[in-house]
């Protein structure tokens, strides 16, 4: 066990990023086509192929998932993933070659680094090409390269966040993993101790409570285009497409436990749920544990982040 999402059999992860311009993408590659669901809770999403995941629609499996920075521009990274998979002969056989099914979601990181450089087709190709079962690096990598949190006191007073991952295994062989790029407008709290570990800073550099800022200002403007948390939860459970969608829905509880506020009008929070169909497990168990593992992945994203773009990180304030 690596403690990361690749502990789930059949799941590989690859990253590509530009560390100078602070943007990147992450690809979750599946060794075999797998059932997938999605749940979008934020009101400003940037997504691709999410309608396909509705249980009433035809295709029930996907071949990879792409998480990317770059706002809507970053959706282009999924095209590079499709190109690589087509070259490998991986995809839905349509009688005229194959069509790889690659859902994607993006976050807004144009406010850090150089907004003119975004994840593109080439970066997506490089990310999937790098996919492996090795322990997943965390922090300022992949889709988390330009991620930030705590923007209710102005973007300049926010903090650097990143990408995190976690996993759990239970005695019957069920393995659940999560990977998340945390780019929230709100603060992040460790639910185990109730401590805010990253959030908006005041003029003295003290980390504030985002909800208190909202209460005091009543109509505190949430900076548009600076947010969105995107994630994948994966398991080796046997689930239907409808059940995978339910797991994605339940997994949002992990975000609600760790990020406040969450699912705002200026977030595009999106969670994909993948099932590789190896172990019998109830949808309630998978959904409950997915929320737990995702909450842990959020904490890891913050704790592994490093200072960048002139913004401090968790490590700037806390020593472990």
273 vs 247: CA distance, rounded Å: 6
* pLDDT the model gives residue 196: 96
Domain of residue 150, residue span: 5-318
DSSP 137: P
Query: Is residue 276 within 8 Å of residue 36, measured between CB atoms?
Result: no
For residue 220, pLDDT beyond 90: no
Q: How many domains does the chain have?
A: 1
If one compares 278 and 226, the residue with the highest pLDDT of the two is 278
Q: What confidence tier does 266 reach under pLDDT thresholds 50, 70, 90?
A: confident
pLDDT in tens, 71-120: 999 999 999 999 999 999 999 999 999 999 999 999 999 999 899 999 99
CATH no. for residue 130? Answer: 3.60.70.12
C-alpha count within 13 angstroms, C-beta hemisphere, residue 33: 15
Residue showing tokens 């349509």: 94
Mean pLDDT of the chain: 94
Residue range 291-309: average pLDDT?
Answer: 97
Q: The sheet that has 187-190: what strands, in order across it?
A: 195-198, 187-190, 259-260
* pLDDT the model gives residue 219: 64
CA–centroid distance for 57 within its chain: 24
Percent of the chain with pLDDT over 70: 97
Q: What is the CA radius of gyration of the chain?
A: 18
Residue range 193-221: average pLDDT?
Answer: 87
* pLDDT the model gives residue 227: 87
Give the count of beta carbons closer than 10 Å to the beta carbon of residue 56: 6
């Amino acid at each position: 066990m690596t403690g990361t999402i690749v502990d789930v059999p059949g799941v590989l992860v690859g990253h590509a990023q530009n560390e100078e311009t602070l943007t990147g993408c992450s690809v979750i590659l599946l060794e075999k086509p797998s059932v997938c669901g999605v749940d979008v809770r934020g009101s400003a999403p940037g997504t691709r192929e999410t309608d396909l995941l509705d249980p009433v629609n035809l295709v029930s499996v996907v071949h990879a998932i792409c998480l990317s920075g770059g706002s809507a521009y970053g959706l282009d990274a999924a095209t590079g993933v499709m190109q690589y998979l087509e070259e490998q002969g991986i995809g839905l056989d349509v009688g005229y070659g194959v069509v790889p099914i690659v859902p994607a979601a993006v976050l807004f990181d144009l406010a850090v680094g150089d907004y003119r450089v975004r994840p593109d087709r080439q970066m997506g190709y490089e990310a999937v090409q790098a996919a492996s079962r090795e322990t997943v690096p965390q922090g300022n990598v992949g889709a988390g390269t330009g991620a930030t949190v705590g923007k209710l006191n102005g973007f300049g007073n926010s903090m650097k966040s990143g990408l995190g991952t976690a996993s759990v295994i239970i005695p019957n062989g069920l393995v659940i993993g999560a990977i998340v790029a945390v780019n929230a407008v709100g603060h992040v709290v460790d639910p185990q101790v109730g401590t805010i570990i990253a959030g908006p800073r005041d003029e003295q550099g003290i980390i504030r409570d985002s909800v208190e800022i909202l209460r005091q200002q009543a109509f505190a403007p949430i900076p548009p285009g600076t947010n969105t948390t995107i994630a994948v939860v994966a398991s080796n459970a046997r689930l239907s497409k409808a059940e995978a969608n339910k797991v994605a829905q339940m997994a949002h509880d992990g975000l609600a436990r760790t990020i406040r506020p969450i699912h705002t009008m200026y977030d595009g929070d999106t969670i994909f749920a993948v099932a590789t169909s190896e172990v019998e497990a109830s949808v309630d168990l998978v959904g409950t544990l997915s929320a737990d593992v995702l909450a842990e992945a959020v904490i890891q994203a913050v704790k592994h982040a490093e200072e960048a773009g002139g913004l401090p990180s968790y490590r700037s304030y806390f020593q472990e």
